[in-house]
Amino acid sequence: MAIPYSLALRLAKPGFPEKGNKTYPVAQYYQLLDLGKMAAHMAGHASKYSKGDIMAVTTELTSCIREQLLLGNKIQLGDLGAFSVTLISKGADNAESFSTSLIQKVKVHWEPSAEFTDLLNDCEFEFVGTREAQAAARKAEKERLNEEATVKPGEEPEDNGSEAPEDEPVTPPTNPDTGGEEDDDEGGLEG
């Protein structure tokens, strides 16, 4: 398993263009796993719970977390971490002039447990193209396939050198934890 990344040029010090640019990694992902896919994945871990059981518990957990946050509680969920709220507000000149009308947003804050805070030591990285480069490659491949499909019977397609050698099949990266299925709805890697 590897975390896919692309590269992007960004200011070395934001707000100071005179400091120049540096190259930074940008995390990507292979596919979006919705609740159904995650529940199926979890059920496949020799679990005694079915996909439906996991989906039902997760849906109810989500509802209860929201309810408890609105009651002003912090929720600690073991290795998953803790959930609480933070407030985004305009400032008041003093305590007497403060009003809740100044609060602009209530945000959910996730405090990851140690299980999530030390991913660096457990992961590998795989360089991939940017979304734009991947989109251009997909478009070129579709155009090539469409061109080959229009070749008349008995004619040889033009050899443009884009085919893989017979002994080296080209396969998209797959994730063994999701059954190797790719999610075409997302249009490739995202980040």
Summary count for the chain: helices (H), strands (E): 4, 6
Please identify every stretch of the chain with a pLDDT value under 70, giving residue numbers as ranges. Answer: 151-191
CB distance 24 to 10 below 8 Å:
yes
* H helix runs in the chain, sequence order: 35-43, 51-70, 114-117, 131-149
Gap between the Cα atoms of 12 and 75, Å rounded: 38
- CA dist 123 and 109 (Å) reads 25
User: What pLDDT shows up at residue 156?
Assistant: 64
pLDDT at 79: 93
**Residues near 82 by beta carbon (within 8 Å), at least 6 away in sequence:** 74, 75, 76, 110, 111, 113
CB–CB of 18/178 below 8 Å? no
pLDDT at res. 183 = 40
Domain spans, the chain: 3-89+102-147+172-186
Nearest to 7 by CA among 122, 132, 144: 132
State the pLDDT at residue 130.
82
The b/e string for 139-174 (b: 16+ C-beta within 10 A; e otherwise) is: eeeeeeeeeeeeeeeeeeeeeeeeeeeeeeeeeeee
- For 65-107, what is each residue's pLDDT tens digit? 999 999 999 999 999 999 999 999 999 999 999 999 999 999 9
Global model pTM greater than 0.85: no
Q: Which CATH superfamily is domain 3-89+102-147+172-186 in?
A: IHF-like DNA-binding proteins (4.10.520.10)
